[in-house]
A and B are shown apart, each in its own frame.
Chain A
């Protein structure tokens, strides 16, 4: 089977690096991609999509070191959705791309619009059972 996502876009905030209880580094950040197309009347349409990115291991440490808000990055990975219950007992879902390859594309675009939405729906931190290797 195939489960593949490729995104090229800009970081919405500085990467966050953590270490699992087992000692594996994991890095989280979000990337905005801009999609342009033309409608039936040949008018230009644009749509921004935000992607939650998870990077594990050595590559996570590299991301923390070399990436920051606004940087352009290439991500190849697989899509996954995690679910958990929040404090009110409501089931929540979060879709992420788990990176298998990250390339730093340099450049820094001034993205004044800031990162994704608030942390109200922040998922529990990833732990050792999530490690993909």
Chain B
């Protein structure tokens, strides 16, 4: 069981500014949300929907994200999906699905 594919790709805009933290391992890690809009259906059934994606970036890439990205920035990103599970104080199971980034392209024009 070593063969599998787990890939996620997004082209969207940041809904939050990136937040940089230091993991217990000492590595930099950064989190932000990315919004994608999609339309499907035709005519009167046409629907528009905004989807929010939780994104995690590690290491040097995380530091670059904090330097170059702000809320509203447009990015292309690739990574894999991961779901973390934990129990909250009430003992109920919580899950969070995130995209762990391996490649990111900043698409905004430099203003400076």
Contacts and interface: CB of A to CB of B under 8 A. Distances in A.
Classify chain B's interface size.
Answer: 20 to 34
Given A1-B11, A93-B95, A8 B5 contact: yes
A2 B93 contact: no
A132 B5 contact: no
A34 B4 contact: yes
A109 B4 CA distance: 13
Interface residues of A, number: 38
Nearest to B1: A34
A97 B81 CA distance: 10
Interface in B72-87: 76, 80-83, 85
B26 to A, nearest CB: 13
B92 interface: yes
A49 B93 contact: no
Given A78-B38, A81-B97, A133-B40, A5 B81 contact: yes
Nearest to B81: A49
Interface in B5-55: 5-12, 36-38, 40-41, 51-53
Given A2-B10, A36-B2, A80 B80 contact: no
Contacts of A117: 85, 93
B53 A49 contact: no
Contacts of B90: 90
Interface string A85-98: 00010100111000
A8 B104 CA distance: 23
B6 to A, nearest CB: 4
Given A109-B1, A120-B93, A121-B93, A78 B51 contact: yes
Given A49-B80, A51-B81, A5 B95 contact: no
B6 A49 contact: yes
Given A5-B81, A121-B95, A133-B40, 7 more contacts: A1-B38, A2-B11, A3-B11, A9-B4, A49-B6, A49-B81, A78-B51
Interface of B: 1-12, 36-38, 40-41, 51-53, 76, 80-83, 85, 90, 92-93, 95-97
